[in-house]
């Protein structure tokens, strides 16, 4: 599958007049995308697929959930939350598009 990702940060505007600098947002988001790019997301309990991917020497991301768009949103929110976010960020919204019109969306309230 190919997905499109939309990430929104909400919070208080800081002294520089922004919630988060685009450069800082990219430093948070890009490593997550690089980890997932051209990778097969597979449930850790799916031994058949895991063995196949090992034999094929395929790039994979092993997770503890089924890779639905909704679960991928939650995964992405969790990964973003691990980053050093500016203190003024109080909400993160992630939208994963499966097609140009179909998407799943999840929001994480930090404060």
Do 96 and 69 meet the contact criterion of CB atoms below 8 Å apart?
yes
pLDDT at 68 over 90: yes
Number of folded domains that form the chain: 1
Q: What is the mean pLDDT of the chain?
A: 96
- Report the CATH number at residue 105: 3.30.479.10
pLDDT at 57 over 90: yes
Residue (of 27, 25, 6, 34) closest to 100 by Cα position: 6
Question: What does pTM read for this prediction?
Answer: 0.92
Query: Residue 16's domain spans which residues?
Result: 4-109
Residues 6+ positions from 25 with CB-CB distance below 8 Å? 7, 9
């Amino acid at each position: 599958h190919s997905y499109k990702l939309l990430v929104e940060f909400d919070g208080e505007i800081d002294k520089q007049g922004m919630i988060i600098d685009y450069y800082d947002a990219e430093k948070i988001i890009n490593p997550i995308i690089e980890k997932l790019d051209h990778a097969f997301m597979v449930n850790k309990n799916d031994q058949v697929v895991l063995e196949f991917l090992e034999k094929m020497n395929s790039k994979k991301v092993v997770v503890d959930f089924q890779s639905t768009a909704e679960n991928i949103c939650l995964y992405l929110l969790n990964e973003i939350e691990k980053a050093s976010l500016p203190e003024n960020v109080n909400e993160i919204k992630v939208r994963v598009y499966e097609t140009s019109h179909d998407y799943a969306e999840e929001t994480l309230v930090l404060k």
